[in-house]
Structure 1
Amino acid sequence: MLTKLVKNNLSRDVEMIIITFLYSTYFNKEIEDAGIKIHTLNINKGMLGPLKLFKIFRIIIDEKPVIIQTWMYHADFLGVILKLLFPSIKVIWNIRHSNLVKGIDKKTTIILANILGKLSFIPDKIICGSNAAYSSHREIGYRRNKLIVIPNGFDTNLFAPSKKVKKSVVNELSIPEGNLIIGHIGRENKIKNQDSIIDAFSKISEQNKNLNLILIGKGLKNKYKNHPLITENIIILDEVNGVERYLKSFDLFILSSFSEGFPNVLGEAMASEVPCISTNVGDSSIIIGKKELLIRDFSAYAIYEKIDYWLSLNEIQKEKLKKYSRTRILDFFSIEKIVMSYLEVYKSFEINK
């Protein structure tokens, strides 16, 4: 989201400069290509020593920022130090995490988040990337009067329908012409609940032979290579370049997770005119906006029911649902609208001087 924010900032009144702990070939180049100044500290894991801290202080003194916005817990903790050293500068924390789950999240992450909850009187604002993040961080002591929610935004030019691209992917994957494609994108992880999708598809495809399931995500191919329910109608791909191409090929998207914050993939799919069914986790219901598309529980049968509901729609109803999906993202979650929300927060500090 940070990269999207700085790339889509068209305000002449707000200049953005990035300080990043680690060098990322992809993201650094993307930011630099957008003409944004970026300072890279090249900090080794867990090694924010005195020299690196001094370099940060030097950058702040030279750049003279009005606002410092920190992203993620470790940077938020650094924001506490910066606020104490530079009290006239406004400090905004940005929380990207939703629920903190023991056994899944690192102990150190959970401890740090709880410490920050006790220190949350220090920043001037705390922006949560989802309503789920807002609620979970309120529960661990983050100050209510500091918290606001600004969801993620989506590039509706990149994520947009294309019959040409759809046809290209269908040919590439040797999918029979006229088949309906059900898709899922997510890394291999128990929390993503892909087993239930496969079980549900196996059942629904017994009555509907013109269906294909595409699963895309790191580790999926290896995990399911010997799965007894994998048939020729199920295509499994590991991480792919240009995931937006494959989204454009889907007719329906399934999110089956046990837990999520603000699942970006739903917004990306819907912007691509792909209707989504989802378990009622995190901000899924807010993104989708239709109760009838929410899966009632995490079981394979509940997923089967929603696929069956979608299949029962006639062609006009399916087309309306496609148009609705993209329109909802354009109306509420386009990157232009979300960037404006950030800019309004920044400018509010000037008004409240």
Structure 2
Amino acid sequence: MLRILHITPSLAGGGAERMISKLTKYDHTNEHIIISLLDMNIHYEFENVKIIDLKLKNGLRSKFLLIFKLYKYVKNLKPDIIQTWSKANFYGPFLSFFNNSKVVSNYRNGYYGTHNKFLIILYNLFFNRFDAHIFVSESALKERKKVGIKLSNCQIIKNGFEIPTYSNELINDTLRIGHMGRFHNIKNQQLIIDAFREFCGDKKTLLYLAGKNLNGENLNLKDIPDSKIKLMGEIKETEKFYNNIDIFILSSDSEGFPNVIGEAMSYGIPVISTDAGESFKIIGENGFKIHDKESLLKVLNEIYMNRQLLIEKGRKSRKRVEEKFDIKDTVKEYQTFYRYITGG
């Protein structure tokens, strides 16, 4: 049994946090310990996993002192592997100087950092202190290579999804459209809102927007709520959300390997998606591919007139997740990688 120490910015709602929760739930071969850095609520449930919640405030002083604090935890815990996630990857190279643990990064998004050649050289020198790098998607790795980032010993391990026992196959009079994701320009929720307002008219349809800051307290959304657009904020009961929509929309400009697409498909919910990260590869021919507002409007009008198409696409979507993206297969890939990196 290996001891894996995960260092993550937080355990709030998000793709990396969701993957950590599933990995620790289904990996019964190794011991997992989690250090959560920031002062944020823990969104997911963890069983039999030690969580060290540092509750740090943002600031340069906190980040500087954190390096020494993490070193003390590593010294006491003596993990076989230190796995940093997302923005916490910054601390991995520092920890590689002071211990015998294998240090592994985990990249969850596409690249939208610097293109400055000198800074890229420094980036390569710094982040190649890691023993290995895990990428959630081929696109996330390719985007970095494109700007000159050269990391050694890279492994792609895609997200996996639990397969619920229930699959949504009901045709409703009202077309219920759903989206889930934190409010951010890169998620481009405005595309969904603009298209829906043009589409809905006197049609029987509802739009549910769920995610962090997708609520009435967000001043950017103060003029949006109406009888057909529901702002739900961050939700924990995602099962209830998926079971109450007929179609899911991903509108992002950039992604790594979007969890929400696979989750929706696992419930038999077909997906409308932009070409962000691995989204088109995930849905295959079982969803709807869009590029702008006009293509989104075309799909919405098509499925409104042909609800049976949703059932057919939904069945194929669920089957694709079962065959290609089962969480148990993803966990096996992590287990194999852990043995490889430690020479086991």
TM-score (norm 2): 0.79
Deviation at 1:97, TM superposition (A): 2.9
Structure 1 residue 91 corresponds to structure 2 residue 103: yes
Deviation at 1:275, TM superposition (A): 0.3
For the residue of structure 1 that corresponds to 2:97, the secondary structure is helix
* 8 A contact 2:206–2:229 mirrored in 1: yes
Figure out how many residues of one structure are paired with residues of the other and give that number.
319
- Supply the AA of the counterpart residue of 1:30: E
Q: 1:346 to 1:272 in 2, by over 3 A?
A: same
What 5-or-longer segments of structure 1 have no aligned partner?
168-176
What is the aligned partner in structure 2 of residue 125 from structure 1?
A: 132
Structure 1 residue 310 corresponds to structure 2 residue 317: no
Q: Distance in 1 between matches of 2:190 and 2:230?
A: 14
Q: Distance in 2 between matches of 1:76 and 1:237?
A: 31
Deviation at 1:334, TM superposition (A): 2.6
Deviation sequence 1:24-58 (CA, Å, 0-9, x none): 5425x833xx11223344444331455x5455334
What is the aligned partner in structure 1 of residue 192 from structure 2?
A: 197
Deviation sequence 1:281-328 (CA, Å, 0-9, x none): 111111111286111x22x2110112233345462x432211111122
For the residue of structure 2 that corresponds to 1:257, the secondary structure is coil
What is the aligned partner in structure 2 of residue 330 from structure 1?
A: 322
Q: Distance in 1 between matches of 2:52 and 2:233?
A: 33
Q: Distance in 2 between matches of 1:259 and 1:118?
A: 26
For the residue of structure 2 that corresponds to 1:282, the secondary structure is coil
Q: Which of 148, 156, 161 is 2:167 aligned to?
A: 161
What is the aligned partner in structure 1 of residue 45 from structure 2?
A: 30
- Supply the AA of the counterpart residue of 2:153: K
Q: Which of 23, 27, 33 is 1:9 aligned to?
A: 27
Q: Distance in 1 between matches of 2:122 and 2:208?
A: 42
* 8 A contact 1:216–1:236 mirrored in 2: yes
The range that moved more, 213-222 or 266-275, is 213-222
- Supply the AA of the counterpart residue of 2:332: M
Q: Which has the larger radius of gyration?
A: 1
Aligned-CA RMSD value: 3.3
For the residue of structure 1 that corresponds to 2:209, the secondary structure is strand
More helix by share: 1
For the residue of structure 2 that corresponds to 1:94, the secondary structure is strand
Describe how 1:92-241 pairs up with structure 2 within 5 A: 92-100=104-112, 115-157=122-164, 160-161=166-167, 178-206=173-201, 209-217=203-211, 218-219=213-214, 221=216, 223-226=220-223, 232-241=227-236
Q: Distance in 2 between matches of 1:115 and 1:89?
A: 23
What is the aligned partner in structure 2 of residue 262 from structure 1?
A: 257
Deviation at 1:220, TM superposition (A): 5.2
Deviation sequence 1:232-276 (CA, Å, 0-9, x none): 343343334423312211111112222222222212211121100
Q: Distance in 1 between matches of 2:70 and 2:183?
A: 37
Structure 1 residue 320 corresponds to structure 2 residue 306: no
Deviation sequence 1:197-241 (CA, Å, 0-9, x none): 3343344445x72333323342454545545xx763433433344
* 8 A contact 1:93–1:125 mirrored in 2: yes
Q: 1:327 to 1:94 in 2, by over 3 A?
A: same
Q: Distance in 1 between matches of 2:40 and 2:223?
A: 35
What is the aligned partner in structure 2 of residue 173 from structure 1?
A: none
* 8 A contact 2:271–2:287 mirrored in 1: no
Q: 1:334 to 1:113 in 2, by over 3 A?
A: farther
* 8 A contact 1:118–1:142 mirrored in 2: no
Q: Distance in 2 between matches of 1:266 and 1:287?
A: 8
Deviation sequence 1:34-89 (CA, Å, 0-9, x none): 11223344444331455x5455334333333222211224x333221222222x43
* 8 A contact 1:99–1:132 mirrored in 2: no
Q: Distance in 1 between matches of 2:27 and 2:69?
A: 26
- Supply the AA of the counterpart residue of 1:334: D
Q: Distance in 1 between matches of 2:190 and 2:81?
A: 45
For the residue of structure 2 that corresponds to 1:16, the secondary structure is strand
* 8 A contact 1:97–1:261 mirrored in 2: yes
- Give the fraction of aligned pairs with identical amino acids, expressed as a percent: 31
